[in-house]
Structure 1
Amino acid sequence: MRVITQQKLGGPEVLTFVDAPQPRPLPTEVLVRVKAIGLNPLEARLRAGEFPLLGEPPFVLGWDISGVVDEAPRTWRFRPGDEVFGMPLFPRAANAYAEFVSAPALHLVRKPASLSYVEASALPVVGLTAWQGLVDLADVSEGDRVLIHGGGGGVGHVAIQIAKALGAHVITTASGSKREFVEEFGADEVIDYTAVDFAEAVRDIDVVFDTLGGDTVERSLGVLRPGGHLVTAVAEEDAELAARYEAAGVHFSGVAVDPDPVALRGLVELAEQGKLRVHVQETFPFERVADAHRLLDGGHLRGKLVLTV
């Protein structure tokens, strides 16, 4: 099979193709013939050496996959021919930039007919991050006022839809150029961060969901109501910031996404109800992974990028 690997850290040009043996599934695992691979900004940071999650090269990037079960020798969960998707093994290496991936069956769910392989591969990381932050940690419910930072991004545009499905009033920060985009996904109010300071524009927020970190998450303290809750997908390990929030009488949670078949099935249910879709800005053939990573490096994406295999 073909695998995209890298022998050194650096720019998109370090991504190279090699021939490798197909992985052999262990007990409770399945071998997936990959149809599409969702790309995430984290992978560009790992490739460049900005975040040492996978250690030193050589390594194979990627977690978001969709495809067809090719072998399922010792698990009852799937059979060959089943269409599946998921985010196996995160944060351990899943070696997903490949034509075949061996994955724990528990980390995958069946792909519904309502989702294409491309759409399904784009959903797991962003969908699970948003679900675990808004549903599991913040317990968003009917009538909550939810502020989502970075609503035009991969996690952000999915978070808007999940919060709306939970009955929340959703406010999001986004550039003026993305106003129509985030409104299309259900945002009730849009704060153009290039022209307006969100910290002065809103108050009495029940839940802030942060995808940006830095100064944004620090200044979000002032917009929460007493007893409110900030969930961050970026600054989850900032103990000093967490202590500052708790001292002010509000809750602070960091979401470090993990494989979760229950949440994945929840996402599938929303998709089948027409309440959730993932926007794919562009697809690239497997061979053009370097071009896709150049777009990742540029940032300011609308939704996700996907490789087709």
Structure 2
Amino acid sequence: MRKICFAEFGGPEVLQLVEAEEPHAGPGRIRIAVRAAGVNPVDWRIREGQVLGAHPVELPAGVGLDAAGVVDEVGEGVEGVEVGDRVFGEGADTYAEFAVLSAWARIPVGLTFDEAAGYPSVVETALRIIREVGVRPGQTLLVSGASGGVGSAVLQIARERGITVIGTAGAANQDYLRDLGALATTYGEGWVERVRHLGRVDAALDLAGSGVIRELVELTGDSRKVVSIADLGAPQLGVRFSGVAGSVPDALAEAVDLIARGRLHIPVEKSYPLTEAAAAHADSRAGHTRGRRVLVI
């Protein structure tokens, strides 16, 4: 089978398309014929060697956590899923023609493989950081870098829970944030005052890693009310860096419910063929994404 892997840490150019042995579903796992794989910032952070504590890597290594496809092997002890089912979920080395998943759910009716591949890690991360930052219904959450996949999920989940959201993003994404129910403003010079003009901030999330931790602490008045998933230096300022996943099956179940009720939709900004994984990583790292990027196999 074809698979994307890397033999050294570095930039997008270290990604290679190779022929590899097919993986197989062990106990408690399923294998899918991958139709699409989600491209997450953690993927290029792993490739660069940034997050080895949370994601140990043995080189050469595959890439990718999220995928959607068709079940073609069911491991021992697995119930409730059959060969031929359309599923999405999380596993390992998903930038490939076949991948083994450790958590999955059936794809909701009406969702394409491309769309479904963009949800698993994004929704798990959104649910986790909303929980960790401790924001409650009736309060206001500031989301820095709100237009990407995780931001899109946070805005919609917070809205569903009765939480007001202020989101920062580029000028081109202001209407997108408003469509998701957020109070929107641009980042850049004067952004702190623009946020203050929109209202009091009870908690804040840093999703972009753009060096705004001090300002987020200033706006909330409490470093414990700020969580980052993008700034590895956040702990030096007393702010939690959230990088360890919680329950993916629970997150998938909640995602399915929200999608089925029309309360969660994360658009695919761009799809790439497997051969253009390096370009997908470069674009993801550059930011300014509206929704998700996916590889189509």
Q: 1:282 deviation in Å?
A: 0.5
| Whole-angstrom distance in 2 between the partners of 1:142 and 1:77 | 35
Q: Indicate yes or no: 2:203 matched with 1:201.
A: no
Letter in 2 for 1:171: I
For each residue in 1:28-54, what CA deviation from the matched residue of structure 2 results, as whole angstroms up to 9, or x when unmatched? 111111110010122223334444444
Whether contact under 8 Å (2:228, 2:234) holds in the other structure is no
Whether contact under 8 Å (2:88, 2:105) holds in the other structure is yes
Whether contact under 8 Å (2:217, 2:223) holds in the other structure is no
Identify the residue that residue 126 of structure 2 maps to in structure 1. 130
| Whole-angstrom distance in 2 between the partners of 1:54 and 1:269 | 32
For each residue in 1:157-187, what CA deviation from the matched residue of structure 2 results, as whole angstroms up to 9, or x when unmatched? 2211111111111111112222112112221
For structure 1, which segment, 54-63 or 27-36, has the greater mean C-alpha deviation from structure 2 after superposition? 54-63
Letter in 2 for 1:123: Y
Counterparts of residues 30-69 of structure 1 (less than 5 Å): 30-52=30-52, 53-55=55-57, 57-69=59-71
Q: Indicate yes or no: 2:163 matched with 1:168.
A: yes
Counterparts of residues 258-273 of structure 1 (less than 5 Å): 258-273=246-261
CA, structure 1 residues 197+288, in 2 after alignment: closer, same or farther (shift >3 Å)? closer
Whether contact under 8 Å (2:231, 2:241) holds in the other structure is no
Q: TM-score, normalised by structure 1?
A: 0.85
For each residue in 1:193-229, what CA deviation from the matched residue of structure 2 results, as whole angstroms up to 9, or x when unmatched? 1243326732632221221346312221222267972
Matched-pair identity in % = 31
CA, structure 1 residues 30+300, in 2 after alignment: closer, same or farther (shift >3 Å)? same
Q: 1:253 deviation in Å?
A: 7.0
| Whole-angstrom distance in 2 between the partners of 1:41 and 1:11 | 13
**Any gaps of 5 or more consecutive residues in structure 1?**
89-93, 246-251
Q: Indicate yes or no: 2:9 matched with 1:9.
A: yes
Identify the residue that residue 100 of structure 1 maps to in structure 2. 98
Whether contact under 8 Å (1:36, 1:117) holds in the other structure is yes
For structure 1, which segment, 171-180 or 47-56, has the greater mean C-alpha deviation from structure 2 after superposition? 47-56
Q: 1:145 deviation in Å?
A: 0.9
Q: TM-score, normalised by structure 2?
A: 0.88
Whether contact under 8 Å (1:148, 1:172) holds in the other structure is yes
CA, structure 1 residues 237+79, in 2 after alignment: closer, same or farther (shift >3 Å)? farther
Counterparts of residues 20-39 of structure 1 (less than 5 Å): 20-39=20-39
Whether contact under 8 Å (2:134, 2:203) holds in the other structure is no
Report the aligned-residue RMSD: 2.5
Q: Secondary structure at the match of 2:225?
A: strand
Letter in 1 for 2:168: T
Identify the residue that residue 291 of structure 1 maps to in structure 2. 279
Whether contact under 8 Å (1:133, 1:255) holds in the other structure is no
For this pair of structures, how many residues does the alignment match? 292
Whether contact under 8 Å (1:32, 1:100) holds in the other structure is yes
| Whole-angstrom distance in 2 between the partners of 1:298 and 1:236 | 17
CA, structure 1 residues 145+304, in 2 after alignment: closer, same or farther (shift >3 Å)? same
| Whole-angstrom distance in 2 between the partners of 1:24 and 1:48 | 27
Whether contact under 8 Å (1:114, 1:272) holds in the other structure is no
CA, structure 1 residues 259+284, in 2 after alignment: closer, same or farther (shift >3 Å)? farther
Q: Indicate yes or no: 2:264 matched with 1:303.
A: no
Whether contact under 8 Å (1:176, 1:194) holds in the other structure is no
